[in-house]
Structure 1
Amino acid sequence: MKKHHYKTMLEWTGNTGEGTTNYKAYQRAHEISIAGKNHNIMGSSDPSFRGDSSRYNPEELFLSSISSCHMLWFLHLCSVHGITVMEYRDNAIGVMEEDKKGSGRFTTVTLHPQVIITDPDMVQKANSLHKEANTMCFIANSCNFKIEHEPITGVKV
């Protein structure tokens, strides 16, 4: 079996001078960097957990990972099946439930791909490829909950 290895670097930048002396003493700011990439990702926690809403939080990055992995597999499958995709946009929605101890987990994710293709005879086939893309997606295969798809496919005139 072929293995792929990934490396990221995370640095907490939220020390206000007091460290973590108490829950309110520090910021949740951090930077994610990857060797060879042009830009760092400015992260924080969700504002519900004292985070900075202007920065990306782990939950948003997780949801966007699912969405982008699905898109990449869908585009690949369309090219293999002779479907020309001209546009692709997804407004993904995820629900995370918090338990009494403060921990939580995602319970649902629904992708809403809006796809524009060139051949009206291929709309049904394109819609069916979302299921196959889900079975191929590395991120979706790593999740312990079902990922739903509600695609809308149009045709470029």
Structure 2
Amino acid sequence: MITHTYTSALRWAGRTVDYDSYSRRHHVTIAGTTTTLSAAAAFHGDGDVPNPEQLLVAAASSCQLLSFLAVAAHAGVEVLEYLDDAEGFMPDDARPVRLTTIILRPKIVARGATCSEIERLLRKAHRQCYIANSLTAVVTLEPEISVC
């Protein structure tokens, strides 16, 4: 059995004198690329840089794309374009506080399959998506498909 391992490195420095004033900015390095992150603006963070919640939504979106491209290629379906406007929802009254829902809205242009076949492949890819399978949040698909 193989266990795949994924790593990141995080760095923060500052002072937590009180809750309202400490910096939420920190740096994460993944595969040699360093990105500045912060808490969401609603949690005293910097809204001009990505936050962990956005990264989680992006990870779910990216994983769905990669899973779909793989199942489509195996099925002989030519995917010409894939766009997604994903959204994550974190209600204040959920306990523990968490993203409870992620909605993926892939817009797909493909050739070599019907809309119903593309929808079937999307569902198959969703079942195989590592990120969606790792989450307690409900991840749903709302696709828009164009077949050439």
Q: TM-score, normalised by structure 2?
A: 0.92
After superposition, residues 75-86 of structure 1 pair within 5 angstroms as 75-86=69-80
Task: Provide structure 2 residue ranges, at least 5 long, that are not aligned to the other structure.
Answer: none
Q: 2:25 aligns with which of 19, 25, 29?
A: 29
Q: TM-score, normalised by structure 1?
A: 0.87
Q: Are 1:122 and 2:114 counterparts?
A: yes
Task: Tell me by how many angstroms 1:124 deviates.
Answer: 1.6
1:72 maps to which residue?
A: 66
Q: Are 1:106 and 2:99 counterparts?
A: yes
Q: Within 2, Cα distance between the matches of 1:149 and 1:70?
A: 9
Q: Are 1:91 and 2:85 counterparts?
A: yes
Cα offsets for 1:75-115 (capped at 9, x unmatched)? 000000010001111011111122488x5111111110001
Residue 97 of structure 1: SS of its match in structure 2?
Answer: coil
Task: Tell me by how many angstroms 1:2 deviates.
Answer: 2.0
1:3 maps to which residue?
A: 3
Task: Tell me by how many angstroms 1:24 deviates.
Answer: 2.2
Q: Within 1, Cα distance between the matches of 2:25 and 2:78?
A: 41
Q: Within 2, Cα distance between the matches of 1:11 and 1:32?
A: 7
After superposition, residues 37-76 of structure 1 pair within 5 angstroms as 37=32, 39-76=33-70
Amino acid at match of 1:48: A
Q: Is the 8 A contact 1:83 1:122 kept in 2?
A: no
Q: Which moves more between the two structures, 61-70 or 140-149?
A: 140-149
Q: Within 2, Cα distance between the matches of 1:152 and 1:25?
A: 44
Larger radius of gyration: 1
Q: Is the 8 A contact 2:114 2:147 kept in 1?
A: no
